Amino acid sequence: MLLITLRHFPTLLIYFAFLFTSIFASFCVTAEDELLSQQEVVKALNNLVVSVDKDYLHEKHREKITEQITTSLNQGGFDGHYQFHRFKRKLESLLYASSHDANFEITWRSGSESLTNAPDRVFPSTIETQLLESNIGYLGIDGDLFNEHAKSDVDNAVAYLSSATAIVIDLRSAGYVDLDVAKQFLSYFVPTGKPLATLTRAHNNTSQLVASDTGFKMGEKVPIFVVTSPFVAGSWEFVAYTLQQTSKATVVGTRTMGLSYLSTTTSLSEHINLVMTYGDLRHPFTQESWKDEGVIPDIPCEATDAVTAALELVEKRLNIETKGD
């Protein structure tokens, strides 16, 4: 007969905890542990060569990348089965060695995942709108503005503030936004047909982004203040920079991240995605951009104080205009 006394309980608890953890772990295989077949590895690499040759932005690196990948594949550099994390690390290292472009990324793809330019992880967004004292409009973006309702959400938010005497646009916590949505956002403040930016794609293909017809426009004399932080990046930098350069807005806060390159996500196989740079945005006339140095604020201050500072500036502007009338 087996006797279990109280002094055995700590040991038994540790044993059962270890047993439960081991059993649970055996059923939980993360994406990084997934085993890729040789057939999928070869397919992914061949598709990568095609994608880079077709869509990768930087001319001077494109040929070297495709040559390095093709040579490594032909010489057996990727023979055998690979756990995803090993394949990811090896391929990203090869891509960086060939291009010195840290924007390349290999990500896991579920079989049902659709192809988009969205980030690998999407953080739900909210658009906050308020009409404050003196009819000052506040529009705050928080998270990734990426869903099928993004354009209509933006339209409703701006329409709600259409009667505002001034608008504060708070981008401090803004995440990802699709370029088309960013262009629509700008179009409420810029006359239809006016150039917003020059977009350069692979093989030096360029096109002009122009303000579209949004049905209504914010008044020419409505003061606009854009609030920034060091975390504002990509297409939201495009918004802040363009409003600033067209003299439509005063930027308040800190320098932004300085990412003028646009990234796209391409499927290479059932389980593998490639993230790479496909475009570059620049001022339509000067060809300058916010790359590296970020959008430089007109009124520098800490991001935590920027909304308060912007509201104070709005009040001063409105008081001056009232006295002038």
Residues 81, 44 contacting (CB under 8 angstroms): no
- Count CB neighbours of 71 within 10 A: 10
N- to C-terminal Cα separation, the chain: 99
Residue 185 sits in the same domain as residue 69:
no
β-sheet bridge partners, residue 82: 36
Residue 92 sits in the same domain as residue 150:
no
Residue 208 sits in the same domain as residue 242:
yes
25 assigned to some structural domain:
no
Residue 71 sits in the same domain as residue 142:
no
pLDDT value for 109: 86
Residue 44 sits in the same domain as residue 143:
no
CA-CA distance, 175 to 293, in Å (whole number)? 19
Give the DSSP letter of residue 38. Answer: H
CA-CA distance, 270 to 35, in Å (whole number)? 12
14 assigned to some structural domain:
no
State the total domains in the chain.
Answer: 2
Q: 68, 102, 136 — which closes off a domain?
A: 102
Nearest to 141 by CA among 227, 211, 223, 222: 227
119 assigned to some structural domain:
no
115 assigned to some structural domain:
no
Q: Residue 70 is part of which domain span?
A: 34-102
Residue 71 tokens read as: 């040579």
Residue 155 sits in the same domain as residue 198:
yes
Residue 167 sits in the same domain as residue 283:
yes
185 assigned to some structural domain:
yes
Residue 65 sits in the same domain as residue 145:
no
Residues 225, 252 contacting (CB under 8 angstroms): yes
Residue 168 sits in the same domain as residue 247:
yes
Where are the extended beta strands (E) located within 156-304?
166-177, 195-200, 206-210, 224-228, 250-253, 261-267, 272-282, 299-300
pLDDT value for 4: 45
Where are the extended beta strands (E) located within 5-134?
35-36, 82-83, 105-108, 126-131
pLDDT value for 28: 43
CA-CA distance, 135 to 18, in Å (whole number)? 62
- Kindly give the confidence (pLDDT) of every residue in the chain, 325 residues in length, as a single tens digit, with 9 standing for 90 and above: 444 444 544 454 444 454 444 444 444 445 667 899 999 999 999 999 999 999 999 999 999 999 999 999 999 999 999 999 999 999 999 999 999 999 999 999 875 555 455 555 545 578 999 999 999 999 999 999 877 889 999 999 999 999 999 999 999 999 999 999 999 999 999 999 999 999 999 999 999 999 999 988 998 889 999 999 999 999 999 999 999 998 889 999 999 999 999 999 999 999 999 999 999 999 999 999 999 999 999 999 999 999 999 999 999 998 877 666 5
Give, in degrees to the nearest 5, the angle at Cα 133 between 131 and 134: 100
pLDDT value for 29: 46
117 assigned to some structural domain:
no
Residue 140 sits in the same domain as residue 250:
yes
CA-CA distance, 160 to 296, in Å (whole number)? 29
Residue 53 sits in the same domain as residue 169:
no
Residue 201 sits in the same domain as residue 297:
yes
266 assigned to some structural domain:
no
272 assigned to some structural domain:
no
Residues 236, 249 contacting (CB under 8 angstroms): no
- Tokens 């290999």 belong to 106
162: domain CATH number is: 3.90.226.10
pLDDT value for 220: 85
